[in-house]
Amino acid sequence: MNIKSSMVGLQPYQPGKPIEEVKRELGLKEVIKLASNENPYGSSPSVEKAIMEEFQNIAVYPDGYAQELRTKTANLLGVNEQQLIFGNGSDEIILILCRSFLTNEDNIVIADPTFSQYAHNAVIEGTEIKAVPLNNGVHDLDEMHKAIDDNTKMVFVCNPNNPTGTYVNEDAFMSFLKKVPKDVLVVSDEAYYEYVTAEDYPSTLPLLKDYPNLMILRTFSKAYGLASLRVGYGIGSEKLIREIDPGRGPFNTNTIAQKAALTALEDQEFIESCYRKNKTELAKYVDFCEKNGFDYYPSQANFILMDLRKPGSDIFQYLLSKGFITRNGEALGFPTSIRITVGTPEQNDKIIEELTNWLV
């Protein structure tokens, strides 16, 4: 059997090293993972009870339409229920979009570097990737607009961007959206939306009324702390959602995940607490960089990309030997950098202490 040509040589997504694997490899008793932008404070305390109550229903298929979660999410966002599509993480929404729109005659426009799954899913469909270099770590929307041609089907704007944490402000996004042809879908991936502090961050939900070619992605994996349960969602026009929904697998979000997400939504005080803590703790890394003269990208997310002017693999291995799993910048397109997820105060103090020792 011959696999489709677009799959040949394609590598699967490489997540951060698991904690138990690092413990076994290096003989460490304690390992702190600050690699995958997870919420170090977990999820709302009410989620655990909700999950336990759902175990009695595990023999029954989940609600394929995720009605309860759909209603709660729509009410919170102020959109119609028919404007939502739920997925096994927002990753699956990206997959559904690519499956629904792309062929080997099309192209997509993305920033470079940005979240890998835009290009990954497009390549599987045989689609051309037009990657436009970042400008000081930020999406260069003027150049991305120039890259659009008659064969462009989608443009992905990762906002805040992973791996840089930078953001496209409202003026830039609006200017871009107005210029994009109406038959090109603009995907605003807002996975880190709940962590954003910038006052001029785009308010995209109201734009859906005037821009049916806009799709917004959000997730329960980051600030809501439900990464292992895999629930994300897309928000778009009712017509767009109706057209792409057949590309969604049956029962793609499970019962426990739906209940956890529904319960997590009800505890916005927890989200606000995580927002405040992240803002405070992120400042510690900024202070470390400025004290030591290191470049960094101002982050609107729960991670920071720092240029420590050494090979990323060296920094990564040093921190790993000390029990910290981080993200090697070499794999992200920044060869002398490291990306660190903002942890708890204790975790951040420890890793900054190790980095300081490393400098001596």
Question: What percent of the chain clears pLDDT 70, i.e. is strictly above it?
Answer: 98
CB 124 within 8 A of CB 131: no
- Provide the token pair at 150: 């008659």
Q: Is the pLDDT of residue 360 over 80?
A: no
Q: How far, in Å, CA of 12 to CA of 117, rounded?
A: 10
Q: What is the DSSP letter of 130?
A: E
Average pLDDT of the residues in 1-5: 74
Q: Is the pLDDT of residue 355 over 70?
A: yes
Instruction: Single out the residue of 193, 201, 203, 167 nearest to residue 299, CA to CA.
Output: 167
| pLDDT at residue number 26 | 67
Q: Is the pLDDT of residue 20 over 90?
A: no
Q: How far, in Å, CA of 316 to CA of 338, rounded?
A: 7
pLDDT in tens, 54-94: 888 889 999 999 999 999 999 999 999 999 999 999 999 99
Q: How far, in Å, CA of 91 to CA of 73, rounded?
A: 18
- Domains of the chain with CATH codes: 14-43+269-359 (3.90.1150.10), 45-266 (3.40.640.10)
Cβ partners under 8 Å of residue 76, min gap 6:
265
Question: What kind and span of H or E run contains 215?
Answer: strand 214-219
- Residues 303, 308, 312, 316: what is their CA dihedral angle, to the nearest 10 degrees? -70
pLDDT in tens, 315-342: 999 999 999 999 999 999 999 999 999 9
Helix 312-321 crosses helix 345-359 at what angle (to 10 degrees)? 120
